[in-house]
Amino acid sequence: MPRPSFPKTLRQFQSDFSTEEACQQYLAVCRWPDGFTCPRCGHGKAYELVNQRRYQCCKCRYQVSLTAGTILHRTKIPLTHWFWAAYLMTTDKRGVSALFLQRQLGLTCYETAWMMLHKLRRAMVNVAREPLRGEVEVDDTWIGGEQAGLRGSRQLKQRRAALVLVAVEKRGQASGRVRMSVIPDFKAVTIMSFLTRHVATGSTIYTDGLKSFSGLLEAGFKHVVRIQPLRSELRKGAKSAVPLADRAIGNLQQWLIGTYHGVGRNHLQVYLDEFVFRRNRRKTPPAAFQTLLGLGTTRTATVYEQIRGARDLNPNPLGLAEAIR
Ligand SMILES: [Zn+2]
């Protein structure tokens, strides 16, 4: 889809999208890059019904909603607010907290800002995305809930820390695209389900010697196992078995601590998606902005009730307190 021009600076953004009309025109350009075409009669001219966020065909009077199929559909919040929030989320590497957004938009209600951010985060998972391919490093890490004296699988039983699996494409020395997922356990079947979902068969997978990474050959992957040096050796400069995955995990942990001061287990997957989304699209902010607002896709909005307890992520929520405030 040809993309309408996109402001490069914050100041430019604010002046380009300062009114409801301007935002609606942007939606219209995204929908009809070559100009309006009536879906019913094919006529090329329409009236703008700004208050209803619709275009009406001049000939047959058919009305098209500008927000249908986007996460903005039926929202009572001004489009200027949504645009501003999506812009901050795509361009600010540190990510955006609800409190920060509330202040930026001058909202009286914290819940509104919180809900907007979560709707945008839900839009970050592009279901049709291409699997990673080529050479891919895979590693696991614990996130949050550090518990003294508990190591490895014993942490799982206490269910405070979350186990996360990370896959990074190798592009020579550099990293390509990334996938991250909260997983319930270390079992081979769990790891295989992650890999078949996120990595194309025929790819070469690099892992350290963790035993759950067995069975990759049978699943159609090439598998290169390297023994990970001890932590003390790594500190002295020994080369990691999976350096790109290690770096991605380090960046993730820094970001989670720096921006959100720790994230509850219930919501962790959503934050992983945010991290991965921004990272994979760091070179194409306009595309990221459009994806966030659901433009050019048929994403339906997540209803507030589901977001509140992350119910759409956890069918059986553990009732753990979330710590994103
Ligand atoms: Zn028409």
pLDDT in tens, 90-118: 887 777 889 999 999 999 999 999 999 98
Q: How far is the CA of 68 from the centre of ligand 1 (A)?
A: 17
pLDDT of residue 311: 46
49 Cα–ligand 1 center, Å:
15
Distance of CA 60 from the midpoint of ligand 1 (Å): 4
- Global pTM reads 0.75
- Are the C-beta atoms of residues 82 and 76 closer than 8 Å to each other? no
How far, in Å, from the CA of 45 to the mean position of ligand 1? 8
The ranges assigned to domains in the chain are 135-262
Name the token pair of 141: 């890490």
* pLDDT tens-digit map of 287-315: 888 888 887 544 344 444 454 444 444 43
* C-alpha 5 – ligand 1 centre gap (Å): 27
Digit-coded pLDDT (tens) for 203-240: 999 998 766 788 889 999 999 988 888 778 877 877 88
CATH architecture of 135-262: 2-Layer Sandwich (3.30)
Do 241 and 208 form a contact (C-beta atoms < 8 A)?
Answer: yes
Q: Say how many Å lie between the CA of residue 61 and the centre of ligand 1.
A: 6
Q: Where are the extended beta strands (E) located within 51-183? A: 54-57, 63-65, 135-143, 162-171, 174-183
Distance CA 291, CA 289 (A): 5
Give the Å distance between the CA of 48 and the centre of ligand 1: 14
Report CA(54)–ligand 1 centroid distance (Å).
13
pLDDT of residue 225: 87
Distance 28 CA to ligand 1 centre (A): 16
Residue whose C-alpha is closest to residue 24's, from 39, 46, 2: 46
Of 73, 79, 119, the C-alpha closest to 96 is: 119
What pLDDT was estimated at residue 268?
A: 85
Contact assessment for residue 288 and residue 139, using Cβ atoms and an 8 Å cutoff:
no
Distance 43 CA to ligand 1 centre (A): 5
Ligand 1 mean position, distance from CA 69 (Å): 20
Q: How many angstroms separate the alpha carbon of residue 29 from the centre of ligand 1?
A: 18
Evaluate if residue 269 carries a pLDDT over 90. Answer: no
Position 146 confidence tier, pLDDT thresholds 50, 70, 90 = low
287 C-alpha to center of ligand 1: Å? 30
Identity of the amino acid at 213? F
Phi, psi angle pair for 76, to nearest 5°: -90, -10
- CA 192 – ligand 1 centroid, Å: 51
Asked whether the CA dihedral 300, 306, 312, 313 is positive or negative, the reply is: positive
